[in-house]
Homo-oligomer: A and B are copies of this chain.
Amino acid sequence: MSNSGKPFTVQDVARLAGVSAMTVSRALNTPEKLSPETLKRVQDAVDRLSYVPNAMASGLRLSRARLVAALLPTLVGPVFQEMIESLDRSLNRHGYQLMIGRTGYDAGQEASLLKAVIQRRPDGIVMIGMTASPEGRKSLQASRIPVVETWDYSSSPIDMLVGFSHFSIGETVVQYFHDAGHRKVAIVSADDTRARSRIAGFRQRAEALGLPPVTIYYCDAPSTIGSGRRGLVDVLTRAPDVTAVFCSSDTLALGALIEAQHRGIAVPGKLAVVGLGDQEFAKDAPPPLTTVRIDGTRIGELAAELIVARAEGVPIAEPVVDIGFHLVQRSSA
């Protein structure tokens, strides 16, 4: 009971229970292989000592850390939250722990983070909303650790992928605007790889539909209500005839809505606004926000399944999955 210095080990428990270390190990992992009496004796000893096995030792022995790493550009802004929680839940169900790493937009940091992660020998790595640098790709591949890329759709994934096409989102939204009769449309957007892909889809389809040039406002990461407000102001200053804006996140969209209300611009009467992400607050925005929904829960589940399958040696039918998206129509557009 009383605790000297080091944590207890199987040996300590074994001594207390009057059995061998191996029996303790079995009591914990394959209790059905022990006689009821010894099992009970061992369990009592475990309880008495509050013994918790050392995962580093067992991980070393089994070459399985029962650990999965998730790499994010920033620690869970609202965007990835749903997916991360789902990933965590799914992994826990399978007996794996999730470790979150932050690359912080910075490419230099990526290398050291990647190394720190690989050192732990996780059973899988989930890359969320970020792309590995060429060196990053190399060390990942050399490590032989299963990798799932998400939140994007690449034709040449490092390993496995659960994503969706940002280009296609851009196309869909501008088509929606067009079908609703809008001519002069604009974008308020962050300026990362995926955002550029959405913008490309948006512009290309706009051109194909014969719309006039798209007005674009780029804002710095991270997306905030403030940048949404400023974005709308900038767009309307440069192109007062804009009647529809696609914001590259719900947060930006909320900022645009707040700014519109502030200026007495009726939404959707005078201005249509579409967001991206279907965050929790979207339905409570003034007015309820029309937005593009991505099923983060499903992405998390799929990513977990892929990694667990790999860890257990189960063959994988579809290593690359397009999860799609859909437009949630509310009042803002």
- A225 with B285: in contact, given A56-B56, A120-B97, A139-B50 (CB under 8 Å)? yes
Is the Cβ of A119 less than 8 Å from the Cβ of B84?
no
Docked pose: A142 CA to B6 CA in angstroms: 11
Instruction: Report the minimal beta-carbon distance from A140 to chain B, rounded to whole angstroms.
Output: 10
Known: A56-B56, A100-B98, A229-B284. A63 touches B138 (CB 8 A): no
- Given known A76-B76, A100-B98, A142-B3, contact A55–B120 (CB-CB < 8 A): yes
B88-A77 in contact (CB<8A): no
Chain B residues, CB < 8 A from A54:
60, 119, 121
CB-based contact A258/B286 at 8 Å: yes
CA distance A85 to B105 in the complex (A): 13
Residues of A in contact with B (beta carbons under 8 Å apart): 3, 5-7, 49-50, 52-57, 59-60, 63, 65, 74-78, 81, 84-85, 88, 92, 97-102, 112, 115-121, 138-139, 142-144, 222, 224-226, 229, 251, 255, 258, 261-262, 280-281, 283-286
Beyond A52-B115, A224-B281, 20 additional pairs, beta carbon < 8 A: A3-B144, A7-B121, A55-B121, A56-B65, A56-B121, A57-B60, A75-B81, A75-B84, A77-B78, A92-B112, A98-B100, A100-B100, A225-B284, A226-B280, A226-B283, A255-B284, A258-B258, A261-B261, A261-B286, A262-B286
| 21 sampled A-B residue pairs with Cβ under 8 A | A7-B144, A52-B139, A54-B119, A56-B59, A56-B60, A56-B121, A60-B60, A74-B85, A75-B76, A76-B76, A76-B81, A77-B78, A85-B102, A92-B112, A97-B99, A98-B100, A224-B280, A225-B280, A225-B285, A226-B284, A258-B285
